[in-house]
Amino acid sequence: MALKAAKRGLIPPFIVMDVLRAANKASAAGEDIIHLEVGQPSTPAPKMVLDGARGALDKDLIGYTDAFGVPELREKIAGHYKNTYAVDISPNNICITAGSSGGFILSFLSSFDAGDRVALASPGYPAYRNILSALDVEVINIETSPETNYQPTPELLDNVKENIDGLIIASPSNPSGTMISESGLKDLADYCKDRGIRIISDEIYHGITFENAAHSMAEFDDECLIVNSFSKYYSMTGWRLGWLVFPDQLSRSIECLAQNFFISAPTLSQIAAIKAFDCTDELDLNVARYRVNRDLLLKELPNAGFTELSHAEGAFYIYADVSHMTDDSNAFCQMILKETGVAITPGVDFDSGRGKRYVRFSFAGSTADMEMAVSRLKALQKKG
């Protein structure tokens, strides 16, 4: 008799990882591949973080921490909210997590029961949908567009017929790089407070903005949950470290969930990350490069046929409508990889309904790579 496999594991793949695997395979075969598919910095962790890790290896046991994490790191994060957003957050309301992924799992498990309904923007980060689906939480896709800056609004939420228990927002967002304004965040906070909707705010791209500084939902809603990460601005992707800000109401449940699911976040990463908040000069040089890369792509991609681009205000992504070029973004990305060696991500990762007409560019790499990528894409367009 065949053994049972749980249905919760039958969730869609994270397609960008499939693209990465194909790009790496081509690279291993000797092809010159330019990676514009993966959303991770191309720079290492800051020097002081690396030095902190080396020192800890020599001096520290590197054993478990408590479920909420190293107190000194939580105090640093609380200070970050005070200095950056003028918001007082107690270190007792901060949990250090295994990347932002751990933060989402703890947020969803502590906030929603099976059968609850959670709204999120489409296009959006696929792991939101897939984790919620695995937990038997119903996902309500809010179809956004350039007219709403690819972000949810109270007006769009009003169009939802079902009652909503939660709302996930991301500003800056993946895949569009767009942001919600200060007034827009306040409007969403007021809307959700009036209707008993729990907000989970993904703020992992804070620090990487090009026009206006990002505002935290903590400024407008003291009952929301905030997920952040050391992966993006702090350039610590593989260290698997993030944090979760939570209200008092959920403190004990998050602690118990964290104890049972993770025990603690990686201790070495926690100790090293204490220095991350002292590295802004070094990290802002990365952001300056992202800005140059963004400006280059926004200027040159239209010359390669990519004329409908999101206005990337932050993060390191541009979302492109390619409906005039293809109705199958998966095959389109495979063709571009084969013909040019430029790896980009099909929009079906971010929008299961309309994503066949979109692709995402990541500009987290070197400026030289951006220049070479647009040169190859322009040559492909001329080739016809």
- Give yes or no: residues 141 and 34 share one domain: no
The answer to whether residue 284 is domain-embedded is: yes
Mean pLDDT in residue range 148-165:
96
Joined tokens for residue 49: 């973080």
pLDDT tens digits, one per residue of 8-43: 888 887 778 888 888 888 888 888 999 999 889 999
Residue 78 pLDDT greater than 70, yes or no? yes
User: Does residue 172 fall inside a structural domain?
Assistant: yes
Query: Quick check: is 1 in a domain?
Result: no
Mark whether 105 and 204 lie in a shared domain: yes
The residues near 206 (Cβ < 8 Å, ≥ 6 apart) are: 84, 172, 214, 216, 228, 233
* CA–CA distance, 116 with 128 (Å, rounded to integer): 14
25 and 61 housed in the same domain: no
pLDDT at 384: 67
Q: Mean per-residue pLDDT for 324-336?
A: 95
Task: Supply the CATH number for residue 158's domain.
Answer: 3.40.640.10
Q: What confidence score (pLDDT) does residue 133 get?
A: 95
For residue 326, name the pLDDT band (cuts at 50, 70, 90).
very high
Q: Which domain holds residue 169?
A: 47-276
Domain final position from 276, 311, 335: 276
Q: Environment class of residue 359 by beta-carbon count within 10 Å: exposed (0-12), middle (13-18) or buried (19+)?
A: buried
Q: Are 267 and 323 found together in one domain?
A: no
Strand order from edge to edge, sheet including 225-229: 94-97, 242-245, 225-229, 198-202, 166-170, 117-122, 138-143
Distance, first Cα to last Cα, the chain: 55
Q: How confident is the model at residue 342 (pLDDT cuts 50, 70, 90)?
A: very high
| Last-in-domain residue among 215, 246, 276 | 276
Question: Is 2 inside any structural domain?
Answer: no
Q: 301 and 261, same structural domain?
A: no
pTM reported for the whole predicted model: 0.95
Asked whether residue 229 carries a pLDDT value surpassing 70, the answer given is yes
Give the full edge-to-edge strand order of the sheet including 358-362. Answer: 308-309, 317-321, 358-362, 345-346
Across the range 130-137, mean pLDDT stands at 96
The 3-state secondary structure of the chain reads: CCCCCCHHHCCCCCHHHHHHHHHHHHHHCCCCCEECCCCCCCCCCCHHHHHHHHHHHHHCCCCCCCCCCCHHHHHHHHHHHHHHHCCCCCHHHEEEECHHHHHHHHHHHHHCCCCCEEEEEECCCHHHHHHHHHCCCEEEEEECCHHHCCCCCHHHHHCCCCCCCEEEEECCCCCCCCCCCHHHHHHHHHHHHHHCCEEEEECCCCCCECCCCCCCHHHCCCCCEEEEECCCCCCCHHHCCEEEECCHHHHHHHHHHHHHHCCCCCHHHHHHHCCHHHCHHHHHHHHHHHHHHHHHHHHHHHHHCCCEECCCCECCEEEEECCCCCCCHHHHHHHHHHHHCEECEEHHHCCCCCHHHEEEEECCCCHHHHHHHHHHHHHHHHHC
Are 291 and 333 in the same domain?
yes
